[in-house]
Structure 1
Amino acid sequence: MVDTVAHAAETPDVEQPWGALGLRENEYQKIREILGRRPTSCELAMYSVMWSEHCSYKSSKVHLKKFGELGRDTPRGKLLAGIGEQAGVVDIGGDWAVTFKIESHNHPSYVEPYQGAATGVGGIVRDILAMGARPIGVMDPLRFGPLTAPDTARVLPGIVAGVGGYGNCLGLPNIGGEVVFDPTYYGNPLVNALCVGVLKHDDLHLAFARGTGNKVILYGAATGGDGIGGASILASETFDADGPAKRPSVQVGDPFMEKLLIECTLELFAENLISGIQDLGAAGLSCATSELASAGDGGMHVNLNTVPLRDHTLAPEEILMSESQERMMCVVEPHNVDRFLEICAKWDVLATVVGEVTDGDRLIIEWNGEVVVDVDPATVAHEGPVYQRPYARPDWIDGLNADTANNLPRATSDDELAAQVLALAGSPNLCDKSWITDQYDRYVRGNSVLAQPEDGGMLRIDEETGLGIALATDCNGRFAYLNPYLGAQLALCEAYRNVAVTGAEPVAITDCLNFGSPEDPSVMWQFSEAVIALVDGCRALGTPVTGGNVSFYNQTDGTNIIPTPVVGVLGVIDDVADRIGMGFTHSGDAVFLLGETREDLSGTTWADVVHNGHLGGMPPLPDFDHEKRLASVLVSAAKAHLLSSAHDLADGGLSQALVESCLRRGLGVALRLPEGDPTVALFAETPGRVLVSLPASTAAPFLALCEQHGITAERLGEVTELPELEVVGRFTLDLDELRTRWTAPLREAMAH
């Protein structure tokens, strides 16, 4: 017997499984207070998923509000849609706009690596589609435990196959991302997915249900039992190191249905048949109905019996909670319904009228002729609990910061320096990642201009003018662990710089904030520091935060991950023909180092690889004014075609930048290290530095440009035809040996 609203009012003492659904007792009591009675089982299901950490941001809302202080101006134009929408939309010039966003699918990807990662890609793609945009590219920042750990061997191949399989089937190029290995992610991999889409200004669509009598149409895949409470319940759970403690059903993706859904939706947009649209992601129908109704000017009436099902044994609660993929919900004016359904039929996309917009402010849902939900949709979608979680700077961080890597033993011979360059190049975090990236189609659609292993991905937007965009995602969690404020700002600076080295002007950011349990005061302190850091940094750079994602409860056996605030930066380039690549291209080119090097060894790859995982001290200090001036130099140099290559110095410092610049096209280099300690010169990770190469003919105007913007430029040497990396007077490394060491780790680990 289905609990009805009337029956619920008459039976206040019936016990309900609120705890099993992830609700706290105070939250359950709040629901009763809102309704003036106990909830029906369907209402309880809706509140439980919508009030989950994943959907409601209940522990992070008070901090995320600070992003609103940044305003809606970018260096290139207005922010057309920002935080609170399904994705941010940025004016990039003319009548073009770009929408982009990054989300997490961490816990589902641990439980079921392939489907968890695949549906993470599918979900973020639908967020972009729902803004009225055509999705044109994806990126995937990934984090795993140690490369040789048993659980890594289980999750990494499945996650990579899921990302590649879904994106490749959709025909979306994967143009960038990161792969990082660290013990802290053992048992809790991070799978972040970014999608970018393009639209004209007039194509922008938002999620709301307006117009009494307008029809509510559910279209796409039928609803099944997969993913019932999936992402929302999983996002509030922790796991044991040796296997999932709980295995809620993870969503199952069908990329071919999603491809049909994309083309169908774009045609519906083109014929102006959609008044409001919402993708069905986490929380499924519970989310789509409540959010559309809450954001509109009326109520909504839905008949669950009309929802197409793959599994006809599903109870109404399960239909409401199912996170089955490839589904969208639209609000359509009555006179447009027939044409809407006709287009869906053309694309072989199932479409059903499941309800309509009503007067008033109630969301009414029926099942078998009985009212099973009668709520104010705002209380479900937008007025959930808000927690002021306690936060406190942990005592242990003082000892951690005192253990500086600047005091660690350094190389005492040139042979030892050479061995350390080789060791870093062959370490899991700096080694060749092509075993992963070769599984992704980077060039489908024909508009990929730069992709892995470049510093930033670049896509052409307008074939006539060459207008394009660049994207980069970055985060050094080791820096964030040492100091979450500086670590978040360094992630922002690195992503900003990785866009600038391509020749694009950085204009806006999105973020995916991956942290441990919000119930741990030290974690909430890390989170708060990271948010404040990004607000301060974005204000200094003039780049608004367009939206993003928070992922909490990333922990295994009670141990939290190191804070991992991944930052994605969007840049705009007027003509992609002006782009700059990262590898040496011409023998005889001069090699310059831009920016000053300081004694910044703490938290570096050198400390990790050479000194057995050492992590202590303070991370480097970012300099936002310097980053802006450096970006101006690079953008101007790109437009004037002054540079042959440009490569950001980050993980591994100058050492790794030289290795990667040589191996990109097999050209060597002969150089002298800057004055001072060779360990600092090679391995420090001082931010704000770029390695560039350029012909003699453009050296004078480039150096004048650097001087004009106050950027130091030191000539180190020149590109050679010899297959070797020569540090004059110290050591020479054969490029074949370097390549062998660089390419071996991932391929060997995945071969077992």
Structure 2
Amino acid sequence: MTATHTPGAVHVDTVDHAVSTPEVNQPYRELGLKDDEYARIREILGRRPTDAELAMYSVMWSEHCSYKSSKVHLAYFGTTTTEEMRAGMLAGIGENAGVVDIGDGWAVTFKVESHNHPSYVEPYQGAATGVGGIVRDILAMGARPLAVMDPLRFGAADAPDTRRVLPGVVAGVGGYGNCLGLPNIGGEVVFDPSYQGNPLVNALCVGAMRVEDLHLAHASGTGNKVILFGARTGLDGIGGVSVLASDTFAGDEGGTGRKKLPSVQVGDPFMEKVLIECCLELFGAGLVVGIQDLGGAGLSCATSELASAGDGGMLVNLDRVPLRATGMTPAEILSSESQERMCAVVRPSDVDAFMRVCAKWDVIATEIGEVTDGDRLVITWHGQTVVDVPPRTVAHEGPVYQRPVQRPADQDALVAAGPEQLPRPSGPDELRAEILRMAASPNLASRRWVTEQYDRYVRGGTVLAQPSDAGMIRVDEATGRGVAISCDCNGRFVRLDPYAGTQLALAEAYRNVAVSGARPVAVTNCLNFGSPEDPGVMWQFEQAVRGLADGCAELGIPVTGGNVSFYNQTGATAILPTPVVGVLGVIDDVAARIPTGLGAPGDVLVLLGATEPELGGSEWAHVAHGHLGGRPPAVDLRRERRLAEVLRGGGVAAAHDLSDGGLAQTLVEACLLSGTGCRVTLPGDDPFVALFSESSARVLVAVPPAELDGFTARCTEADVPWRRLGTVGATDVLEIEGIPALPLPELRTAWEGTLPALFG
């Protein structure tokens, strides 16, 4: 930057100075801008940008903030979402978070985002501030945050760097969420070598509000005041999520460094808790016209997006921004990603009342500007103009790239190398040993070591939490109305077939919500991929977007928003393509939920769905042979929809979906979660396939004997295949016909011992 730090003074590059010094060399490449992007900025402004303007454009035109490589593909969602699907959606793609009407005057907002690269650099703060950021997105919609979830992915479980990253990430998620008093009701912990050096830390938050309390991010009303409130602005996080998340890890620094190492944001959950309560009181008093949280790109994002979405311009005075560091330049103030900050647009007549509410909560609040009747975002510093830009060019009219898309050269060979020839266990003793080995494998073992670090039941609204198939939270105390949420993705399936693999992620999340007794109504997503500059990665991305959009259209539920995270790779090695799909469901009364497990002794166990020899990308192939190849299981979304309708029809005492690890893992988990055994007979004539196939659209249900005829008749009428497997016993043994008995204590030792041994 041309501005320099000098004790007692800050030399500033003003608009007048920029006009008079057109040939000053500026470090735009170091800020992530391409030559043509910098040239376009000069064309927009009719001059070179000031240092502050260059900082704003660089962060707002970054991949993370501008979606410049994904916009052309994300537009497909708009072509597949029907008016019927939009009927219950109050806010969708483009807002801070999606909002859906759940009835009785209630609305629910939810979204998932990534904080991947910062969490590798500094695991605790990277994960903690990821939680803080997604919570503020929900808060900015006018809602009270109710719960969080954390889909996580790490390198090989026994890799040294995983032992560095995972404990810090888990502690950060738990530390921040616990201090906020928000229950963590679910998520994922997945291990795969492709995430080595590039963990995925995705965070989801769900919140609720009355329909009339919905707030949007826009700066309307000439003369309305712009108020910055919350924490002071510091040097932490400058270029953090906006730049760090928009570049590939160099991979040439011995595994300890990055091409760029900007400061990771530092979170203060106690400040955020006070900010939440302050915001909710401001909303309740009707003192806010528009609001935006300060996350990625900080004030650059908040001011440009509010002005761009409004009906005028904006004038901002940076002198008034409360700072916690001396000698900060305007560019640094605008780029800082210091946490726990919000920006509100307030009517002049309401400013005093707004300030009184903030003072009550001991929240710093400062009037930093106002809405103008022009079409420019003007920012001053010590009486001099340092920014004068059309706000839409910063916030919404950044570069749009049609990246090359090409099916990877190795894709056909990967699909051809199926698991059919892999050695399989045979005989009762080998199958028994394989069940135990699978139960103890890192991806299937109990997550208790992780989840016991989270408060899952704080505030008393939690109805279901991990290890249940879906998290469930009560929204309305009077009626019992609530919502269920599940996040899922099998990256191996997506690698084998990005279109079908993404639909399998959607199907599993949809099924997990249905298994809880809720009605799936909406989708969010976090699309984690490698470098968009790789045509093979863009092929995966394009296929995944189309798979998700087409799948949602078939299920009749809309995508309400989400996040794209590119450059998830180290050097030339990309992660498994990982489009995490979150599904939200509504349940009229949480007392009618379906528990996860086996039900009561004497209940009949019924397997819903058809089992085929589908082991491509399966957990068994991964655990037993480190193998990835073949085709993923077939996906049948119409059958998933019929299955969900059957489950909502009643007559089910307990349920557990079949996914990773197949029927064997479902039986193990259901027995251990219920604390009781069962006796079953495997379907088909191949015990190995029956136990470890990962065919989709399958659920194990426990049905009271008196309900069995009615329930199975409904299944037949709905064309949902069903098969009676056995009964729930009063013993502590899992009995599978033809296989030596598996006592529950032995199963529990295998299932619960893995993560503590690795990380405890």
TM-score between both structures, scaled by the size of structure 1: 0.98
The structure 1 residue matched to 2:575, chosen from 544, 554, 561, is 561
Compared with structure 1, are the counterparts of its residues 72 and 204 closer, same or farther at alpha carbon in structure 2 (3 Å cutoff)?
farther
- Tell me the amino acid that sits aligned with residue 632 of structure 1: E
Partner residue in 1 for 2:478: 464
Query: Secondary structure of 1:445's partner?
Result: helix
Say whether 1:634 aligns with 2:644: no
Tell me how far apart the structure 1 counterparts of residues 507 and 119 of structure 2 sit (CA, whole Å): 29
Say whether 1:422 aligns with 2:436: yes
For residues 75-474 of structure 1, the aligned pairs below 5 Å read 77-239=87-249, 240=251, 242-245=255-258, 246-474=260-488
How much does 1:708 deviate? 1.8
The structure 2 residue matched to 1:650, chosen from 655, 659, 674, is 659
Query: Secondary structure of 1:91's partner?
Result: strand
Query: Secondary structure of 1:481's partner?
Result: helix
Cα pair 1:541 1:628 within 8 Å, conserved: yes
Tell me how far apart the structure 1 counterparts of residues 291 and 323 of structure 2 sit (CA, whole Å): 21
Partner residue in 2 for 1:623: 636
Tell me how far apart the structure 2 counterparts of residues 626 and 261 of structure 1 sit (CA, whole Å): 45
Partner residue in 1 for 2:72: 62
Say whether 1:693 aligns with 2:706: no
The structure 1 residue matched to 2:713, chosen from 704, 710, 727, is 704
1:240-262 deviations in whole A, cap 9, x for unaligned?
36123132100000000000100
Cα pair 1:724 1:734 within 8 Å, conserved: yes
Q: Structure 2, unaligned stretches of length 5 or more?
A: 1-10
1:4-51 deviations in whole A, cap 9, x for unaligned?
111111111100010111111111111001111100000000000000
Tell me how far apart the structure 1 counterparts of residues 223 and 596 of structure 2 sit (CA, whole Å): 56
Cα pair 2:117 2:244 within 8 Å, conserved: yes
Cα pair 2:142 2:214 within 8 Å, conserved: yes
Runs of 4+ in 1 over 4 A off after TM superposition: 72-77
Partner residue in 1 for 2:560: 546
Cα pair 1:459 1:468 within 8 Å, conserved: yes
Cα pair 2:153 2:199 within 8 Å, conserved: yes
How much does 1:72 deviate? 6.4
Cα pair 1:74 1:507 within 8 Å, conserved: no
- Tell me the amino acid that sits aligned with residue 527 of structure 2: L
Cα pair 2:658 2:696 within 8 Å, conserved: yes
- Tell me the amino acid that sits aligned with residue 677 of structure 1: D
Compared with structure 1, are the counterparts of its residues 110 and 167 closer, same or farther at alpha carbon in structure 2 (3 Å cutoff)?
same
Query: Secondary structure of 1:406's partner?
Result: coil
1:90-125 deviations in whole A, cap 9, x for unaligned?
011121110000000000000000000000000000
Partner residue in 2 for 1:750: 759
Partner residue in 1 for 2:4: none
Cα pair 1:73 1:79 within 8 Å, conserved: no
Query: Secondary structure of 1:407's partner?
Result: coil
Say whether 1:678 aligns with 2:675: no
For residues 561-580 of structure 1, the aligned pairs below 5 Å read 561-580=575-594
Partner residue in 1 for 2:597: 583
How much does 1:69 deviate? 2.2
Cα pair 2:236 2:263 within 8 Å, conserved: yes
Cα pair 1:81 1:546 within 8 Å, conserved: yes
Cα pair 1:70 1:545 within 8 Å, conserved: no
Partner residue in 1 for 2:740: 731
Cα pair 1:503 1:579 within 8 Å, conserved: yes
1:474-528 deviations in whole A, cap 9, x for unaligned?
0000000111111100000000000000000000000000000000000000000
- Tell me the amino acid that sits aligned with residue 421 of structure 1: I
1:520-546 deviations in whole A, cap 9, x for unaligned?
000000000000001110000001000
Cα pair 1:77 1:92 within 8 Å, conserved: no
Partner residue in 1 for 2:7: none
- Tell me the amino acid that sits aligned with residue 339 of structure 1: A
Query: Secondary structure of 1:681's partner?
Result: helix
Tell me how far apart the structure 1 counterparts of residues 171 and 54 of structure 2 sit (CA, whole Å): 36
The structure 2 residue matched to 1:534, chosen from 536, 545, 548, is 548
How much does 1:558 deviate? 1.9
1:358-417 deviations in whole A, cap 9, x for unaligned?
111000000111100000000000000000000100110111100111332222211111
Partner residue in 2 for 1:482: 496
1:194-243 deviations in whole A, cap 9, x for unaligned?
00000111000100001111100000000011001110110122223612
1:168-212 deviations in whole A, cap 9, x for unaligned?
110111001000000000000000000000011100010000111
Say whether 1:664 aligns with 2:673: yes
Tell me how far apart the structure 2 counterparts of residues 62 and 456 of structure 1 sit (CA, whole Å): 33
CA RMSD across the alignment: 1.0
Tell me how far apart the structure 2 counterparts of residues 450 and 413 of structure 1 sit (CA, whole Å): 38
User: After alignment, is 111-120 or 460-469 more displaced?
Assistant: 460-469
Query: Secondary structure of 1:740's partner?
Result: helix
Say whether 1:41 aligns with 2:54: no
Tell me how far apart the structure 2 counterparts of residues 675 and 731 of structure 1 sit (CA, whole Å): 19
- Tell me the amino acid that sits aligned with residue 101 of structure 1: K
Tell me how far apart the structure 2 counterparts of residues 251 and 70 of structure 1 sit (CA, whole Å): 37
Query: Secondary structure of 1:513's partner?
Result: strand
Partner residue in 2 for 1:22: 32
Q: Percent identity?
A: 66
How much does 1:445 deviate? 0.9
Query: Secondary structure of 1:546's partner?
Result: strand
Cα pair 1:499 1:506 within 8 Å, conserved: yes
Tell me how far apart the structure 2 counterparts of residues 676 and 6 of structure 1 sit (CA, whole Å): 82
Tell me how far apart the structure 1 counterparts of residues 510 and 424 of structure 2 sit (CA, whole Å): 31
Cα pair 2:85 2:558 within 8 Å, conserved: no
Q: Structure 1, unaligned stretches of length 5 or more?
A: none
Tell me how far apart the structure 1 counterparts of residues 208 and 244 of structure 2 sit (CA, whole Å): 32
How much does 1:568 deviate? 0.1
Tell me how far apart the structure 1 counterparts of residues 507 and 326 of structure 2 sit (CA, whole Å): 52
How much does 1:89 deviate? 0.3
Tell me how far apart the structure 2 counterparts of residues 503 and 76 of structure 1 sit (CA, whole Å): 23
TM-score between both structures, scaled by the size of structure 2: 0.97
Tell me how far apart the structure 1 counterparts of residues 684 and 228 of structure 2 sit (CA, whole Å): 66
